[in-house]
Copies of this chain bind each other. A is one copy, B any other.
Amino acid sequence: MTLDQTLLQACSRLGLKVPSPSKPVGVYRPMVVSGNFAYLSGQLSKDADGKLMVGKVGKDLTVEEGKKAAQLAALQATSLIHGEVGLDRVEQVVRLVGFVQSAENFYGQSDVINGASEFIVEILGEKGRHARTSIGVVSLPLNAAVELELTLRLR
């Protein structure tokens, strides 16, 4: 079974639709491949129908809801890779930065971003196990709860 099939199966099991990659809302690219590296544009917490999970975690959303938002953003990321180069070309997800739209006194960003890391490792296995930085920020585009930035090594 290819990793791309793994993605489809996992989504089916989780009741998630595989989204079409988001179109950039400006003169940038969803993903740049250069040498052995691929750089993804920021992926928001959005489902396959384009519906965003919005709000600040710790105020409008619980940790569990934030985790779900992080999973959706990770699904956006993996779907983008699936559509652009195919998941089987990934040698390693080397780096993930997770930005969580956070209440001023919310400090559970690691718990929230686990929702993204767990999804990516479920699909890609060891190749998905990344270095990670979790950050709480005051606001994100379109009021999204979570935004992810990923860098990949390709084979």
Interface residues, chain A, with chain B CB atoms under 8 Å away: 24-32, 34-37, 39-42, 91-92, 94-97, 99, 102-110, 113-114, 117-118, 121, 129-143, 147, 149, 151, 153
Contact = CB atoms under 8 A, between A and B. Distances in A.
A12 to B, nearest CB: 22
Contacts of A134: 42, 141
Nearest to A118: B27
A103 B140 CA distance: 11
Contacts of A37: 94
Given A28-B96, A117-B27, A131-B28, A139 B136 contact: yes
Contacts of A105: 139
